[in-house]
Amino acid sequence: MPPAARSRVTASVDFDRDGVQHGFLRLFHSSHESAYGFIPIPIVVIRNGAGPTALLISGTHGDEYEGQVALCNLTKALTPARIKGRVIILTALNFPAAMAGRRVSPIDDVNLNRVFPGDPEGTVTRQIAYYIEHELIPRADLVCDLHSGGSSLMYVPSVLTKRVPDEAIFARQLAALQAFGSPHAYIAHSPPGQGADQTMSGGAFRMGVAAIGSELGGGGTVTPEALAIAERGVNNVLVHLGILPETDRIAPAPTRILDVGGHDYFVYASERGLFEPLVKLGAMVRAGQPAARIHFPETPWAPAVELPFVRDGFVLCQRIPGRTERGDCLFHLGTDAAG
């Protein structure tokens, strides 16, 4: 019988030791520039006795910066004396992508959030996914993976969770979502093709662990507003888990909870051209209302192509770059969740 698959990644921290530890996950990668070297994925473990574990992650996509800043600040603010239980922080999970400021790894061109459960013998990004799903997620009571729109999208800053078929896990996810206290939240019903099982939240579900995420803004930058939502949210989730005391709770905003459903929630570019948005983020729109025009500056007398919204909804997300290709997502909507 072949030996059971095992991650080649090693951690320089002891997950069961009290106190603060700063270290690295070592992902050995032999390259032209570094024959015997490793990719140093930074990891922080803060522990004070028995109790719940929060796994806080940013940099799954390297060009999503709000979570990375929030978790850098949190790393300096948390001390063992302040907490009960354990907080594991990974600020730059896909380290090569984070250092390059890119969504995907420059080493293997792989999107970390589309290759779960990963592969211990695969390319570097697949090895990261495998380690997270099999070594870190099982240690956690809650996974919080902080995303944003990245280089190509801008969101109304939101916390989110995935609709999972296990009601007990979904209830824990909803409670954490509400504790986060973002003005906007949404429940992703994962349209076909968007790779739900291949995401980190898919991995958490396979391991029976609750997971929430975020879409904190984007556009390849950080705004004070989105950062404040991220920092309050993570803090309040730690209070919710009982890791931080109730006195640390920051008054949350009332949360408007939306659903994001299938492809009718999305507007995709039908042509290559220059994208003119016709609505703003946060607007309420109606089915049939024009969402965007695509222009052809190389043929200015050619009529622009107008693209409508397919359904009523709240404009949650917009494409940022003006140039667009057929198939790009230009907008997506949310709808107020029932009950």
Tell me the window of 33-41, 145-153, 243-251, 253-261 that interacts with Ca ion (CB under 5 A).
Answer: 145-153
42 contact partners, CB below 8 Å, separation of at least 6: 22, 23, 24, 90, 91, 92, 95
Burial of 147 (0-12, 13-18, 19+ CB in 10 A): buried
Extract the tokens encoding 248: 């640390």
How far does Cα 39 stand from its chain's mean position?
Answer: 21
Amino acid in the structure at residue 326: R
Angle at alpha carbon of residue 217, lines to 307 and 79, rounded to 5°: 160
CA separation for the pair 262, 253 (Å, rounded): 28
Q: Which residue has the tokens 């078929």?
A: 165
134 versus 147: smaller Cβ distance to Ca ion: 147
Q: How far apart are CB 111 and Ca ion at their closest, in Å?
A: 9
Q: Does 147 bind Ca ion (CB under 5 A)?
A: yes
Tell me the window of 36-44, 59-67, 138-146, 328-336 that interacts with Ca ion (CB under 5 A).
Answer: 59-67
Q: Are β-strands 256-260 and 184-188 bridged in parallel, bridged antiparallel, or unpaired? A: parallel
Q: Does 61 bind Ca ion (CB under 5 A)?
A: yes
Q: Does 162 bind Ca ion (CB under 5 A)?
A: no
Q: Does 184 bind Ca ion (CB under 5 A)?
A: no
147 versus 232: smaller Cβ distance to Ca ion: 147
Q: Does 47 bind Ca ion (CB under 5 A)?
A: no
Q: How far apart are CB 145 and Ca ion at their closest, in Å?
A: 9
Q: Does 240 bind Ca ion (CB under 5 A)?
A: no
Q: Are β-strands 284-285 and 305-308 bridged in parallel, bridged antiparallel, or unpaired? A: unpaired
Q: Does 332 bind Ca ion (CB under 5 A)?
A: no
61 versus 134: smaller Cβ distance to Ca ion: 61
Q: Which residue has the tokens 């801008």?
A: 154
61 versus 332: smaller Cβ distance to Ca ion: 61
Are 96 and 124 in contact by the 8 Å Cβ rule? The answer is yes
Which residue's beta carbon is nearest to the bound Ca ion? 147
78 versus 187: smaller Cβ distance to Ca ion: 187
Interacting residues toward Ca ion by CB under 5 A: 61, 147
